[in-house]
Amino acid sequence: MPSSKEKLPGESYCFACGPENPIGLHLDFRFDAEKYVAEKTLPHEYQSYEGVVHGGIITTMLDEAMGGYLYSSGERAVTARLDVRYRKTTPVGEKLIITGWEEGRRGHFVNMKATIALADGTVTAEGSAKMALVD
């Protein structure tokens, strides 16, 4: 199972997970078996139209679930390719469960998957990414 890694100086301002970023998402992930999971209820400041989370914010949360998984496992990676499928509208003001996991590796690339789901398990968005490992 991956281990958790502390943030390096300056990384506490990450828009997605940085605790010191005043306008950030403040996502707080943890490992649950082989998956990287966070729960978040977004306020209306992150909506596009009434009651619906903006697609860019959804993409950011999926990307963080995949890249953060590797970072917290002690590996540095950048997103080389990212695909998002919006399956349903994602509501503001409701608990969301963001989950990321590793699918496989080939050379310096890691294939990742992530989902955003409602508390009842309904998946509203899913992502897949090819992450490039860097030194």
- 47-90 per-position pLDDT tens digit: 999 999 999 999 999 999 999 999 999 999 999 999 999 999 99
CA 102 to chain centre: 13
Domains of the chain: 29-134 (3.10.129.10)
- 12-40 per-position pLDDT tens digit: 888 898 888 999 999 999 999 899 999 99
What single DSSP character describes residue 88? S
What pLDDT score does 1 carry?
Answer: 42
The whole-angstrom separation of Cα 86 and Cα 99 is: 15
| Dihedral (Cα; 62, 99, 68, 16), 10-degree rounding | 50
Is 60 exceeded by the pLDDT of residue 8? no
